[in-house]
Structure 1
Amino acid sequence: MNVFGVTGWKNAGKTGLMERLVAEFCGRGLRVSTLKHAHHSFDVDHPGKDSHRHRMAGASQVLLASTERWALMNEHRGAPEPSLAALLAKLDPVDLVLIEGWKRDKHPKVEAWRAETGNPLIAPNDPTILAVASDTALELDRPVFDLDDTAAVADFILAHLEMAR
C-alpha cells in the first residue's frame, strides 16, 4: 500500500493541505483514503441516537449503515490505542493512503509549516520528513514547496512513491 503523511504542529496548515491533496489526487484518477490522528477524545456519534445507545450499553463495535455510507465505531474499552500499521490494515486497498498526524511514525512525510505559528520546524531533526510545504521561503537540506502549491507537492509525493500519474 502506498502511504504518505502530512505532519506539522497545530495551525500549520495540515488539514488544508490534506484536503487539497485528496482533491488533487482524485482529480488525477487515483483512489485515495485518509487516516487522521486526533490527540483528544472525539465522537462521531450523537447522544440519544440508537447507535450511541448501543455503545453506551457496552458494545465493542457498532456498525452504522445507510444507502449513502457506513461507519464502524470501535470502542477501546481500556485496550491500548492501535498502531498505525494496525489501522492501515483495516482499510480497503486504494492507490494511496494519506496520513495526517502520527509525527513519530516512520512513514515518509511532508511537513506543513507556517511562520506565524512560531513553532519550530520538525524537519531538521526528522529524516522521515522528506519535504516541507511552507508559507515562507526556507533554506533546508530537502525540497521546500509553497504551502499552496498543491500540484507540486502531489508531484513530489508521486515521484517519491514511484507512482506515475
Structure 2
Amino acid sequence: MGVPLLAIVAWSGTGKTTLLQQVIPLLKARGIRTGLIKHTHHQMDIDTPGKDSYLLRKAGADQVIVASHQRWALMCETPDKPLDLADLAARMDYSALDLVLVEGFKDEPVAKIALWRRGVKGEVADLLDEHVIALVSDENLTIDLPLLDINQPVKIADFIENWLR
C-alpha cells in the first residue's frame, strides 16, 4: 500500500466519528491530506431514492459512478463479497493523500488507535491487540501504551503527525 492506514477502533457509541470530526481539520491545517474509510453495520445508500443514479443502480448496474465538478462517488453492489479493507484502501487516490484514516475494522491487522470510555459497552482489554499504537480515553488508565486524553484533540493530532513521520 502506498499510504499508511490508521484505524480508530472502539465500541459503538464511544465517539469515533466525533473524535475524527475534531482531528481531521487539525491534520488538514498541518498539511496532512487524509482519506477516510468508514465501516458501518447498517445498510446504506449514498444516492437518493428516485434520482437517476439510484434508479440505474436498482435497475441492476453493479457499479455506478456519480460525478460533478465538486466530487464523485463510486457505488459498488457487493452482496456476496466480504468486506476487504486492503481492497477498499486500494481504490483511493494515493497521489492525493498522506494518510488513510479508518473508522472501525477493529479486527484488521493495521495500526490502530483504540478509543475507550468508561460506561460504554465492552472492556478496554478487548480492544487491544498487537496493532494498537495508543489508547484514547476519558480515564487515567495504567497501560503499556501511550495514553491520550479524549478531550484533547490537538494532542491526538500531534500523536498522529509524529507517528506519520
TM-score (norm 1): 0.91
Provide the residue aligned with 2:106 in structure 1.
Answer: 103
Provide the residue aligned with 1:37 in structure 2.
Answer: 39
Which residues in structure 2 correspond to 1:84-103 (within 5 Å)?
84-93=85-94, 94-103=97-106
CA contact under 8 A between 2:9 and 2:127: conserved in structure 1?
no
CA contact under 8 A between 1:111 and 1:122: conserved in structure 2?
no
Residues 49, 157 of structure 1: alpha-carbon distance in 2 compared, 3 angstrom cutoff: same
Measured after TM superposition, the shift of residue 117 of structure 1 is: 1.3
The residue type equivalent to 1:81 in the other structure is P
Provide the residue aligned with 1:27 in structure 2.
Answer: 29
Residues 51, 155 of structure 1: alpha-carbon distance in 2 compared, 3 angstrom cutoff: same
Can you give the 5+ residue segments of structure 2 that lack an aligned partner in the other structure?
none
CA RMSD of aligned residues (A): 1.5
Can you give the 5+ residue segments of structure 1 that lack an aligned partner in the other structure?
none
Q: Distance in 1 between matches of 2:62 and 2:127?
A: 41
Pick one of 110, 119, 132 that aligns with 2:122: 119
Q: Counterpart of 2:8 in 1: which secondary structure?
A: strand
Q: Distance in 2 between matches of 1:153 and 1:23?
A: 12
Measured after TM superposition, the shift of residue 118 of structure 1 is: 4.2
Q: Distance in 2 between matches of 1:88 and 1:75?
A: 17
Provide the residue aligned with 2:84 in structure 1.
Answer: 83
Provide the residue aligned with 1:47 in structure 2.
Answer: 49
Provide the residue aligned with 1:160 in structure 2.
Answer: 163
Q: Distance in 1 between matches of 2:115 and 2:15?
A: 6
Aligned pair count?
161
